[in-house]
């Protein structure tokens, strides 16, 4: 039964178990072609993506830039807009700038979300509720993620564009994204990849090694700045990836992954409607 659950989860998330070292060029070309197809079908003229300094946005960003360059060669005018979305001052800003240097986007713009987030949080008051400092910090983290997506959609409106997401299989199975925040987008070119595979594609495209291997963090919590994804999960990415690839993992890791998957099912579903 446990093996069946594992297989069902991998299938539902569209995990690509065929991609191994040596097949990067074919997979990069396939995903670039996917981006081109979506942009052509939409009739839109730009792709918009927030660049954080992590390997996910770095990989998706480079795929987008390759896609628009190919489209222009095919006489379809399109451009890629990379967006920096810091909250006040970002601790790893140098990594974000290194990512931009690697991606070489057509356009770069910066929107600091601090005033938006702080203004909203300062004006929320609910009679009878006194949330703890921890709950307030958690809620504010989600507001940050949603504010970033608001900014990206505004830029997409201005540029007749589509918003690109960075969700992949390892984050999807853990539900490690903000609903209607970084989980909201028009296309998700990393979908179905494990974290290992994302790094594989990034390395194959020539990304700097320190960014490819950088320990991932959402960095949304002010009470725990720089908190690593794996600390939030309670298990390692290599365990999550092994699970998604159908390999054996420890009973503890299996329980953590499956509990997270079922608990966060609502994040991966459309809004519920009457039947």
Task: Give catalytic residues, as residue numbers.
Answer: 56, 171
Q: What angle do CA 132, 134, 138 make, to 5 degrees?
A: 115
Q: What angle do CA 242, 5, 239 make, to 5 degrees?
A: 20
User: Please, which residues have CB within 8 angstroms of residue 46's CB and are 6 or more apart in sequence?
Assistant: 68, 78, 79, 80, 81, 156, 159, 160, 161, 162
Paired with 221 in beta bridges are none
Contact 81, 159 (CB under 8 A): yes
* CA 242 to centroid of chain Cα atoms: 20
Q: Which two tokens stand for residue 136?
A: 């307030």
Q: Which two tokens stand for residue 97?
A: 């700038």
């Amino acid at each position: 039964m446990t093996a069946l659950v594992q297989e069902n989860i991998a299938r539902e998330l569209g995990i690509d178990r065929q991609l191994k070292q040596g097949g990067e060029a074919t997979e990069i070309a396939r995903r670039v072609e996917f981006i081109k197809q979506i942009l052509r079908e939409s009739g839109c003229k730009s792709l918009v993506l927030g660049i954080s300094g992590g390997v996910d946005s770095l990989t998706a960003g480079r795929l987008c830039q390759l896609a628009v360059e190919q489209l222009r060669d095919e006489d379809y005018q399109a451009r890629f807009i990379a967006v920096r979305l810091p909250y006040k001052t970002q601790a790893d800003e140098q990594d974000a700038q290194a990512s931009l240097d690697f991606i070489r986007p057509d356009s770069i713009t910066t929107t600091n979300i601090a005033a938006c987030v702080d203004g909203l949080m300062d004006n929320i008051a609910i009679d009878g509720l006194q949330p703890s400092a921890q709950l307030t910090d958690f809620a504010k983290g989600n507001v940050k993620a949603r504010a970033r997506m608001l900014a990206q959609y505004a830029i997409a409106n201005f540029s007749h564009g589509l918003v690109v997401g960075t969700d992949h299989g390892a984050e999807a199975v853990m539900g490690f994204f903000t609903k209607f925040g970084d989980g909201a987008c028009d296309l998700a070119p990393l979908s179905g990849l494990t974290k290992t595979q994302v790094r594989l594609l990034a390395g194959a495209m020539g990304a700097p090694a320190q960014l490819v291997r950088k320990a991932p963090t959402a960095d949304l919590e002010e009470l725990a700045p720089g908190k690593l994804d794996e600390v939030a999960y309670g298990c390692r990415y290599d365990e999550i990836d092994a699970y998604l690839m159908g390999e054996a993992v420890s009973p503890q890791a299996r329980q953590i992954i499956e509990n997270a998957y079922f608990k966060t099912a609502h994040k991966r579903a459309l809004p519920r409607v009457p039947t």
